[in-house]
Amino acid sequence: MKRRLRGFDPSRLRDARARAGLSGAEVARRGGIGASTYSQWEQGKADPGIAALARCLAVLQVGVTDVVIVDPSDEHLGDLRVARGLTQGDLAGKVQVSPQHIGALERGHVKLSDAMARKIASALGFEVSRVVASFDRVRNRPSDVLP
């Protein structure tokens, strides 16, 4: 099941593109995606995958956190990964586990060990306490809140 990119703000993406003085088609071309896909992102009709979004943001010379806004008091573990422009596979490679394990951690389906919290914190450049707090939020979320 494809999950939404929590905190993605299409208007911030449009504004970044306008500041860069580029057309949506040009950003899409340089980012290696279809122009219609990029247009759907800006219109809020589709959510981007983090890898493609990160490529397009590099074209615009802005960071992920300029267009993906999540209140730190509401961050989930996956939000920290997204803030760094990484896929689950990217993070998995950095901490030497499977992408499936990262996914299970991000959904709160498995326990986050102290050692894994340290590895993730190091890989993402966040304090261990922030990683643990974001995991605790996803682990203890209400059943109707998606990670």
pLDDT at 95 over 50: yes
pLDDT at 2: 53
10-66 and 72-139: identical CATH topology = yes
pLDDT at 142: 84
pLDDT at 145: 77
pLDDT at 144: 79
Structural domain spans, the chain: 10-66, 72-139
Mean pLDDT of 109-116: 98
107 CB contacts (<8 Å, ≥6 apart)?
Answer: 138, 147
C-beta of residue 7 within 8 angstroms of C-beta of residue 79: yes
CA distance 69 to 72: 9
Instruction: Single out the residue of 39, 12, 15 nearest to residue 28, CA to CA.
Output: 39
User: What is the fold of 72-139?
Assistant: 434 Repressor (Amino-terminal Domain) (1.10.260)
pLDDT at 3: 63
Note the pLDDT tens digit of each residue in 23-41.
999 999 999 999 999 999 9
CATH top-level class of 10-66: mainly alpha
